């Protein structure tokens, strides 16, 4: 059935998008990627093909250019869209709010315009647990009110609103809002994963750079939170599990209309110190860390209520924290070897 379906993946050369492209191709879908490469490389297309034995179509397209988005829809009969393309660095969004609002919101509006013109009615959207804001109690469930604390978060809240309104006005449309918790890990092949340039903001890539010796020491942002060991707790989910959640969501979207929201997490929180211990195991040496002040804007704990994704999509994440650290470490080691 999938064999005849063609999926446009915006941001498909990015970290999560590339893993989803692999699973789409493996499931028999045809894949068209649109990415302006602002945060990824063209080599990822080739890597996806090496893993799957199938080459996706690739367009170096900026969603801010409506004509080039239309061009893709004219060249391909697109059955559904998975929309990853966007800027995602919280700190950068505070420093460059106009760039974030413009890129993330205008990009989505252009995509929706082209979809409407061509009669494409299925959209799976990358939202984030950040929309649960600062005041909801854990675990976060999909019925809770949304909020944001920075421009990046507001772009997600706003895009959820825009998509919901458009689906309400177009009864044959299907929109799924997927709220990711903390995606980490890499494809077990070691060919795709996350290797940010410069000093990473997120914990896992930071820990990985300490493991390679590129950075000297992990800074643990606060050890006085109301959590079991005092450090921040997050719901880390393996990116391959997350990708599998997208395949389930897409299948659901093709058989339902209207808007629905799903958390994609494991339902289990791990502390900063637990993650450092797990990564130390994976790389075979004790990783040095110091306790540093809390990072402004951080909440103590964040994990998902996963019942809805389980009951409605039949999705449960499988990988353990040890699996996530092992695959991240394997990817980083492969990357280093390639660079030598
Ligand atoms: P990523 O930066 O690796 O991938 C995003 C891709 O979008 C990049 O390849 C980038 O080049 C592309 N892009 C950005 N703006 C574009 C534009 N105007 N036109 C075309 N392409 C554009 O990020 P990711 O981690 O794979 O995240 C994918 C999506 O998931 C994003 O929307 C992000 O906000 C969301 N998300 C990510 C996380 C996370 O922790 N990684 C958590 C929650 C939600
Ligand atoms: N964190 C940390 N040191 C770092 C980066 C992050 O102690 O260098 C902590 C952070 O305070 C939070 C957890 O690790 O408790 C996850 O942070 P990340 O930025 O990866 O995800 P987010 O906070 O966006 O969920």
Dump pLDDT digits (tens) for 182-191: 999 999 999 9
Q: pLDDT band at residue 242, thresholds of 50, 70 and 90?
A: very high
8 A C-beta contact, residue 153 and residue 90: yes
Per residue in 256-271, pLDDT (tens digit) is 999 999 999 999 999 9
Establish whether residue 74 lines the binding site of ligand 2, counting it when its CB lies within 6 angstroms of any ligand atom: no
Q: What is the residue with the minimal CA distance to atom 5 of ligand 2?
A: 203
Q: Which residues contact 123 (CB under 8 A, 6 or more apart)?
A: 80, 81, 83, 112, 115, 163, 167, 173, 174, 175, 176, 253
- Which whole-number Å values give the CA distances from 32 to 8, 22, 56, 280, in the listed order? 5, 12, 6, 38
* Residue 229 confidence (pLDDT) above 80: yes
User: Is residue 251 within 6 Å of ligand 2 at its C-beta?
Assistant: no
Q: Is the CB of 101 under 6 A from ligand 2?
A: no
- Among protein residues, the one with the nearest Cα to ligand 1's atom 9 is 14
Catalytic residue set:
152
Kindly report the pTM of this predicted structure: 0.98
Residue in the structure block whose two tokens are 């507001």: 154
Domains located in the chain, CATH noted: 2-185+235-266+309-313 (3.40.50.720), 203-233+268-304+320-335 (3.90.25.10)
- Considering every ligand atom shown, identify the ligand nearest to the alpha carbon of residue 201 and give its number: 2
pLDDT over 90 at 233, yes or no = yes
User: What confidence tier does 340 reach under pLDDT thresholds 50, 70, 90?
Assistant: confident
Ligand nearest to the CA of 184: 1
Residue 166's contacts (CB-CB under 8 Å, 6 or more residues apart) are 112, 116, 173, 175
Phi (first) and psi of residue 41, to 5 degrees: -125, 155
């Amino acid at each position: 059935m999938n064999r005849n379906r063609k999926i446009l993946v915006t941001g498909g050369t990015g970290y999560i998008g590339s893993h989803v492209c692999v699973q789409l191709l493996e499931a028999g879908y045809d894949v068209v990627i649109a990415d302006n490469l602002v945060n990824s490389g063209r080599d990822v297309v080739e890597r996806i093909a090496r893993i799957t034995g199938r080459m996706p179509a690739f367009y170096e397209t900026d969603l801010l250019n409506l004509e080039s988005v239309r061009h893709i829809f004219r060249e391909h009969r697109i059955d559904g869209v998975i929309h990853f393309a966007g800027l995602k660095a919280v700190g950068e969004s505070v420093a460059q709010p106009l760039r974030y609002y413009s890129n993330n919101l205008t990009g989505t509006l252009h995509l929706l315009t082209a979809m409407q013109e061509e009669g494409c009615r299925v959209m799976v959207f990358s939202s984030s647990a950040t929309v649960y804001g600062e005041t909801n109690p854990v675990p976060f469930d999909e019925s809770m009110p949304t909020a944001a604390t920075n421009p990046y978060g507001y772009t997600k809240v706003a895009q959820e609103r825009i998509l919901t309104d458009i689906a309400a006005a177009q009864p044959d449309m299907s929109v799924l809002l997927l709220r990711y918790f903390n995606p980490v890990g890499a494809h077990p092949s070691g060919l795709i994963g996350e290797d940010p340039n410069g000093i990473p903001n997120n914990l896992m890539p930071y820990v990985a750079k300490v493991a390679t010796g590129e950075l000297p020491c992990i800074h643990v942002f606060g050890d006085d939170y109301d959590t079991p060991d005092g450090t921040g707790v997050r719901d880390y989910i393996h990116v391959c599990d997350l990708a599998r959640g997208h395949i389930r969501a897409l299948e659901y979207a093709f058989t339902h209309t209207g808007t629905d929201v799903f958390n994609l997490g494991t339902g289990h929180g791990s502390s900063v110190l637990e993650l450092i211990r797990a990564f130390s195991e994976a790389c075979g040496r004790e990783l040095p860390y110091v306790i540093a002040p809390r990072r402004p804007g951080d909440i103590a704990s964040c994990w998902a209520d996963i019942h809805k994704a389980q009951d409605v999509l039949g999705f449960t994440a499988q990988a353990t924290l040890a699996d996530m650290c092992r695959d991240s470490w394997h990817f980083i080691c492969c990357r280093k070897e390639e660079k030598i």
